[in-house]
Amino acid sequence: MFYKDERLALFIDGSNLYAAGKALGFDIDYKLLRSEFMRRGKLLRAFYYTALLENEEYSPIRPLVDWLNYNGFSMVTKPAKEYTDSQGRRKVKGNMDIELCVDAMELAPRVDHIVLFSGDGDFRPLVESLQRQGVRVSVVSTIRSQPPMISDELRRQADNFIELEDLRDVIGRPPREHAGDRDSALEAQG
């Protein structure tokens, strides 16, 4: 439930929201997302958190980061760390949980309602703390994917759970075909 006069802030765990949308078969249109929550209340801030591979010649997320930066989102990024695991596989690590938590705690006295776009159970203590400060917290994720993308404890702690699938018609668009996907589809037809 949203009230027109309440002060809202959005906290978007970029990789988590991307994975949830992908699991449901759609991409997020961030312009529509921002408009939707401006309609629901007085949107003060929309934060987007993601790690970036700094040493890559081209990062596929860079155009999105730049677009969000110019279109009303407060971008919070940090360099992702690359490492090789015990099986010799290249892995990338870029957890933004601490940055998101610190920003949410700092903004809490100035907002009435925080909308967290993540299903990560690690955020349950944050939600609990925000609630103790009088802030209502809605969590956006999905239980309709296999497996569900939201942890049970986060869903229980939130004041309101918003099923991402229910927002598909409001903030979604069909997923873009990536070159690798197109090549695989052409091979399968071949």
- Average pLDDT along the chain, 190 residues, taken 10 residues at a time: 95 95 95 97 97 75 91 92 83 87 98 98 98 98 95 98 97 70 41
Looking at residue 6, the DSSP 8-state letter turns out to be: S
Closest C-alpha to 117, from 153, 164, 72, 78: 164
pLDDT at position 56: 65
**C-alpha to C-alpha distance for 65 and 75, rounded to whole angstroms:** 7
Per-residue pLDDT, 4: 94
User: Residue 25: left (phi > 0), alpha (psi -120 to 50), or beta?
Assistant: left
CA within 13 Å, CB half, 116: 33
Rounded-to-integer distance, Cα 27 and Cα 25, Å: 7
**Beta pairing partners, 9:** 45, 114
Task: Look at residue 188 in the predicted model and tell me its pLDDT.
Answer: 41
Q: What is residue 62's predicted lDDT score, i.e. its pLDDT? A: 85
H/E stretch holding 21? helix 14-24
pLDDT attached to residue 53: 79
Tell me the C-alpha distance between 181 and 24, whole Å. 17
The domains found in the chain, sorted by start residue, are 7-81+91-171 (3.40.50.1010)
Q: Quick one: how far is CA 5 from the chain centroid?
A: 24
Contact 17, 160 (CB under 8 A): no
Instruction: Provide the whole-model pTM.
Output: 0.87
Amino acid at site 107: L
Distance, in Å, from the CA atom of 3 to the CA atom of 112, rounded to the nearest integer, reads 10
